[in-house]
Amino acid sequence: MSGRAAIAIDRVSKRFALAGSSEGVLALAELSLAIAPGEFVAILGPSGCGKSTLLRLVAALEQPSSGTVSVDGAPPGQVSANHALGVAFQDHALLPWLSIRDNVALPFRIAGRRPDEAAIARLIDLVGLSRFATARPRQLSGGMRQRASIARALVLEPEVLLLDEPFGALDAVTRRQMNVELQRIWSARQITTLLITHSVDEALFLADRVVVMSGRPGRIVREVAVPFARPRDPAVMRSEEFHRMVDDLTAALENEEPPPS
Ligand code: ADP
Ligand code: MG
DSSP string, 50-119: SHHHHHHHHTTSS--SEEEEEETTB-HHHHHHTT-EEEEETT-PPPTTS-HHHHHHHHHHHTT----HHH
DSSP-derived letter for residue 46 is -
Q: Is 184 within the bounds of a domain? A: no
Q: Is 157 within the bounds of a domain? A: no
pLDDT bin (cut points 50, 70, 90) of residue 259 is low
Task: Report which protein residue has its CA nearest ligand 1's atom 27.
Answer: 16
Which atom belonging to ligand 1 lies closest to the Cα atom of 46? 3
Q: Is 126 within the bounds of a domain? A: no
| Spatial separation of the C-alpha atoms in residues 76 and 1, rounded to whole Å | 12
Domain that holds residue 202: 1-82+195-256
Give the pLDDT confidence of 52-93 residue by residue, as tens digits: 999 999 999 999 999 999 998 999 999 888 888 888 876 557
Q: Which ligand is nearest to the CA of 46?
A: 1
Q: Is 4 within the bounds of a domain? A: yes
R_g over Cα of the chain: 18
> For residues 247 and 110, which has the higher predicted lDDT (pLDDT)?
247
Q: Is 199 within the bounds of a domain? A: yes
Q: Is 89 within the bounds of a domain? A: no
What pLDDT does residue 2 have?
46
Give the pLDDT confidence of 78-89 residue by residue, as tens digits: 988 888 888 887
DSSP-derived letter for residue 35 is E
Helix 100-110 to helix 142-154 angle, to the nearest 10 degrees?
Answer: 30
Which atom belonging to ligand 1 lies closest to the Cα atom of 47? 4
- How many domains are there within the chain? 1
The DSSP code sequence of 132-169 is GTTS-GGGS-HHHHHHHHHHHHHTT--SEEEEESTTTT
| Spatial separation of the C-alpha atoms in residues 150 and 80, rounded to whole Å | 17
| Spatial separation of the C-alpha atoms in residues 239 and 220, rounded to whole Å | 27
- CA-nearest of 167, 93, 88, 101 to 130 is 101
Q: Is 188 within the bounds of a domain? A: no
Which atom belonging to ligand 1 lies closest to the Cα atom of 196? 2
Q: Is 190 within the bounds of a domain? A: no
- How many CB atoms are located within 10 Å of the residue 176 CB? 18
Sign of the CA dihedral with 242 first, then 188, 144, and 164 last: positive
Over residues 211-222, the mean pLDDT reads 95
Question: In this structure, what CATH number is given to the domain that contains residue 77?
Answer: 3.40.50.300
Best residue among 15, 18, 25, 54 to mutate for probing ligand 1's pocket (most ligand atoms within 8 Å of CB) is: 25
Nearest 5°: phi and psi at 25? -115, 125
Give the pLDDT confidence of 111-168 residue by residue, as tens digits: 899 999 998 998 898 888 999 999 999 999 888 898 899 889 888 888 899 999 988 8
pLDDT bin (cut points 50, 70, 90) of residue 14 is very high
Ligand 1, residues at Cβ distance < 6 Å: 16, 25, 27, 45, 47-53, 216
| Ligand 1 centroid to residue 33 C-alpha, Å | 19
Task: Report which protein residue has its CA nearest ligand 1's atom 23.
Answer: 16
